[in-house]
A and B are shown apart, each in its own frame.
Chain A
Amino acid sequence: MEELLKQCEQTLNDLSFATVRDWKAKTGGKAVAYFPVYAPVELLHACEVLPVGLNGAGDNLDLQHADARFGSFICSVVKSTLEMGLTEKLGCFDGFLFSSICDSARNLCWVMKRNLPQMYLDFLHLPHNPQSRSSVDFLASEYRRLARELEKISGVRLSPERLRGAIALYNRNRALIRQLYELRTQSPHLLRTSELYLLVRAGNFLPVEEHTRMLEMAVERFPWRPGKQRDSVRVVVEGSFCEQPPLTLIRLVEEAGCYVVEDDFGLGQRWFESDVPETGDPIEQLADSYVNRSVYSSVRHDFRKPRWAGLEEKVRRTRADAVLFLIAKFCEPAYFDYVMFKQKLEQSGTPHLLMEFEEKMFTFERLRTEVETFVESLVFQ
């Protein structure tokens, strides 16, 4: 398993996107990248397009141009994504898909469009009014529009059978991820979060079939791994749904005495609370699942189920001692939600700590001290 984890880490840090290039060379297919948080990957797969989830460039790329284009007060993932485009790192992609998650990411789509005119760029409007039945109909029409564009790219015609097949594949993949998440919650000493993170996120760069095989192997082997329980506090990590914290920071949180028993890393890959139905009109089922069966997130709004209720439920279900807010610097949706989350946690007496991160962080010592102090305060209270 250690070898597998090492490979996953290499894949995440590989800005030449070797897995994508290999797949394209082998199949002759097309690849479309998508910006966080969520993209209807089943549609891409059904049009024989490889969906690739890009969460910025981490600390693997120097920003030479993007800073000047986006200025101060804008998060790293927006800038590093643009930088990849401006420095021709995205050559193996035949398109790039964005959605209505925040204002910076939305503007990024159009800035990319101007600077990469040869690339297919699209913007999905994911609806914000789930109370209205019209939301599902509108989203289904968005998906049909997207499918027509994808068909042009790949030359493959979408059929209900193909889409149902893709839905089944991704249901299986998500079920395995749920299983691993459950294993991690139950036995965080056997499967560390920094490891689970690698296993799940690597799926962004692999064909779903291959990733599913990898997850099956993990589900089989991790429960039997030797592991020793530590005297750690159980924490839920909240706020990293889009830009991803440096892996060093996730490891640091664990080393400083935390069992991360729930998190929102790579949330788009675990977007549905339950399977997307494999019967009926598959486009409508996908749309209905987004509107009615998706996880809470700071970039998805559903006033029927407040997000803070989702967080409280997570804390309860995982028997967590505390919540760690890991928020990307300048991530406005997370900052706004932090206010409400904080209020609710204080009402229920759940301790919490706020930490900000950026893709390019070089010193982690201050954060280490903060987490250690926080853990001590919980252990000795």
Chain B
Amino acid sequence: MSEAVKSEYRGGIHQRQKELMMRWYDRLAESAATGRPPAVSLMISGNCVELLEAFGMVPLYPEVNALQLAIRHQSLEPILAAEEMGYAADNCAYVKADIGCYIKGLTPTGGPLPKPALVLCNFVGCNTYVKWFEHVSMMTGSPLYMLDIPFLREDEPSQEAIEYVVRQLVELASQLEKISGVKFDPERFREAVRCSAEVEGLWSEIKHLSRRHPAPFDAYFDAITLMGPLYVYRASREGVEFFQAALAELSAKVEHKQGVYDEEKFRLVMEGPPPYPYFRTFRDMFAKWKATAVASTYSTVGGLWEFGFRHDPERPFESVARHMLAQNVTNRNYLQRYEQIKRYVEEWEADGVIIHFVKSCRLFSAGQGDMRDYLTRTLGIPTLYIESDLEDPRYFSEAQIRNRIDAFFEGLEHAKATGKRQLEPLAAAASPLRVLG
């Protein structure tokens, strides 16, 4: 096997994304200096950025800051500072990095970050969010609003759950009015929701492009590049323009049959967040095998749009509620995630699944051994399970992970060469979610 290949796709969208994200940091710096636009701390998962856009407020995503630090190999210092303060080795390292930054006065760009006008905890499945934002509110002295989203038990949210979320969104809008000094304008909110719907349509088309052979982009590593604008700019015209350009660029690649590498040898589905402190190293481990992720669950944290959901400008509050309740991977139940992966494997025609267990995130990782059991034993899908962390560099064992990845691809390669299936699904697979045989 040839050694590390790093010739993966780098296009105009990567450059444009960088510009947009720097502009976002500029806006945050402006907010820090002048208080305008007011900044609102918000979580990525199932975020309701549309409502902030309606008041001209800027979202401040601590997860984005944390991952930027990790990619730049700067996360350990704040993590250690937080641990010194009393946070446990087994607490989420995103939280520790963020809190550590407050203590040490660090920011990902070196520029200032504003004190949030509101700490808006959109509780969308992740219980750690609640603690995290409670601590942020304590440390900054900013007021906190706890937007409680009932967990999704059924295929669709109940009417009661929708009403509950809508009532809270209306309360929140009135709080945002007071904080921003801007009167709530239903038309402006509708326009934000309209932009989101357009972006979601474009994003969904992009995601469906990776069903093609070869896939024109990596739906894990490149999707992460696109996720920044998706969460910061989704409800704005700039977001629409960015995703129109991205779709055009990637569609042209499809027309020219250009993949991520000169040859697409393997197609994968990725489950779980990436190890940001070793992002490049991790990507190269797949590049070596010319393996492209054609779909990923992590890219649906902020919203799940490839199966048809769109915000609806005719029912802005209700559609924001529906998005938060049912259309993001974190608030959907665990078995719905199994089914999501199954659909990806079948409809995006993948050769296997990589499960990346991250120590920090129990929402993602608790039970992934059972998920592997379902994928391998019940469905017969080749699956690799590896462990590290999304933020803490101390949990990445490079040699071990590389060995496991190499061994996995060797097995896949052999199976492809001989035309033999590596695994046979259980006969009981007819009942889709029963495994114990």
Contacts and interface: CB of A to CB of B under 8 A. Distances in A.
B357 A71 contact: yes
B370 to A, nearest CB: 4
B435 interface: yes
B164 A137 contact: yes
Contact of A69 (B86, B128, B373): B373
Nearest to A141: B160
A115 B88 contact: no
Contacts of A129: 146-148, 168
Contact of A74 (B161, B362, B435): B362
Given A135-B148, A301-B146, A70 B90 contact: no
Interface stretch (B105-113, B130-138, B232-240, B341-349): B130-138
A86 B436 contact: yes
Given A104-B366, A332-B91, A333-B131, A115 B85 contact: no
Nearest to B85: A339
Interface string B115-139: 0000000010111101110110110
B244 interface: no
A335 interface: yes
B369 A134 contact: no
B334 interface: yes
B367 A111 contact: yes
A281 to B, nearest CB: 16
Contact of B150 (A103, A125, A301): A125
A65 to B, nearest CB: 9
B335 interface: yes
B397 interface: no
A366 interface: no
B149 to A, nearest CB: 9
Contact of A332 (B92, B147, B171, B387): B92
B333 interface: yes
A335 B359 CA distance: 15
Nearest to B160: A141
Contacts of B92: 332
Contacts of B367: 69-70, 104, 107-108, 110-111
Interface residues of B, number: 58
Contact of A110 (B132, B137, B333, B436): B333
Nearest to A302: B146
Contacts of B431: 117
Interface string B351-386: 000000101011101111110011000000000000
A336 interface: yes
A103 B87 contact: no
Contacts of A152: none
Interface string A106-132: 111011011101000011010111011
A336 B387 contact: no
Contact of A70 (B86, B125, B366): B366
Nearest to A88: B436
B151 interface: yes
Contacts of B369: 67-71
Contacts of A145: 158, 160
Interface string B55-91: 0000000000000000000000000000001111011
Contacts of A285: none
Given A69-B370, A129-B148, A336-B135, A113 B167 contact: no
A354 to B, nearest CB: 9
B182 interface: no
Contacts of B134: 301, 303
Contact of A333 (B127, B147, B168, B365): B127
Given A117-B434, A127-B148, A103 B362 contact: yes
Interface string A359-377: 0000000000000000000
B151 A125 contact: yes
Contacts of A70: 366-367, 369-370
A281 B432 CA distance: 42
A372 B164 CA distance: 51
A319 to B, nearest CB: 26
A340 B366 contact: no
Contacts of A110: 333-335, 367
Given A107-B367, A111-B370, A123 B153 contact: yes
B86 A114 contact: no
A73 B370 contact: no
Interface string B154-189: 000010110110011001000000000000000000
Nearest to A86: B436
A340 B333 contact: no
B13 interface: no
Given A69-B373, A114-B374, A125-B151, A339 B87 contact: yes
Given A106-B125, A332-B128, 10 more contacts: A69-B369, A71-B357, A73-B362, A78-B366, A102-B127, A103-B363, A107-B362, A117-B434, A122-B153, A336-B132
30 contacts: A68-B373, A69-B369, A70-B366, A100-B127, A101-B127, A103-B126, A103-B363, A103-B366, A107-B367, A110-B335, A113-B335, A114-B338, A114-B370, A114-B374, A114-B434, A114-B435, A115-B370, A115-B436, A117-B431, A122-B153, A125-B150, A125-B161, A134-B164, A141-B160, A142-B150, A301-B130, A303-B144, A332-B131, A339-B87, A343-B86
Interface pairs A-B: 4 shortest CB-CB: A110-B334, A336-B131, A129-B148, A141-B160
